[in-house]
Amino acid sequence: MLSPDATLIDVAFAVCTALDHAGERALLVGGSAATFYAPDAYQSSDCDFILALGPDARDVTSSPESVGFHRVGEGIFRHADLIYTVEFPKGPAQIGIDYIVTHATVHRGDEILHVYTPTDVVRDRLIHFWAWGDYNGLRVALDVATARRSEVNYEEIVAWTDREFHAAPAAYDRVRRELFLADLRKILD
């Protein structure tokens, strides 16, 4: 059971493990995945899980409940003693036009967590800056790259930005991409 001083990462492990025991693979995505890799830089207040296979959110109630969360809305769970919510947005996991088919799996004692790779977290936060001008997304992308520089694949990110730009040139800002990639290159060099 989660203690009242549990962190978002504790929640992520607990829920993912409960789902795993129920035979369900859930992938931690979005801002909570950024918090996992750079907790000092970014604190999300919700755990977003996308279910890889199997039932949708209506059918996963029992697993979050087994660690103290109860359902308060469509795919949204709350805990009486914690500020964090657990949510199950509809899948599939996707960043821009890319479907996410690989992820990281982290073990902590008996617990397990499936989570975006650091490269995918950087892409996921970058797209908010690139397409919407969200400067918080830019900072978090660069902070995660700084925290996990050896695990971020620069070439993969460049190739993805090329694909995105080719698929939807009007959606993205060319200058923002160049500025971001220059910063990322500096961090990773």
Partner 1 sequence: MPAAPTGLFGSMIREEILKVVVGLDQGAYARQIAGLLERDLITVQRNLRTLEQDGILASRFLDRVRLFELNRRYRYYGALRALLQTMLHDDVRVRGLLEKIRQRPRRTGKPL
Q: Which residues bind partner 1 (CB under 8 A)?
A: 46, 73-74, 76, 85, 87, 89, 128, 132-139, 173, 175-176, 179, 183
The helix-helix angle for 174-188 and 154-167 (nearest 10°) equals 170
Scan for tokens 């805990």, then name that residue.
79
Q: Compute CA distances 61 → 77, 142, 183, whole Å.
A: 9, 35, 42
Min dist CB 120 to partner 1, Å, is: 16
CA 117 – CA 131 distance, rounded (Å) = 21
CA 86 – CA 73 distance, rounded (Å) = 11
Is the CB of 30 or the CB of 104 nearer to partner 1? Answer: 30
Min dist CB 106 to partner 1, Å, is: 25
Is the CB of 154 or the CB of 172 nearer to partner 1? Answer: 172
Min dist CB 42 to partner 1, Å, is: 11
Min dist CB 179 to partner 1, Å, is: 5
CA 169 – CA 96 distance, rounded (Å) = 12
Min dist CB 9 to partner 1, Å, is: 19
CA 146 – CA 21 distance, rounded (Å) = 34
Is the CB of 91 or the CB of 137 nearer to partner 1? Answer: 137
Is the CB of 109 or the CB of 169 nearer to partner 1? Answer: 169
Is the CB of 24 or the CB of 143 nearer to partner 1? Answer: 143
CA 139 – CA 180 distance, rounded (Å) = 10
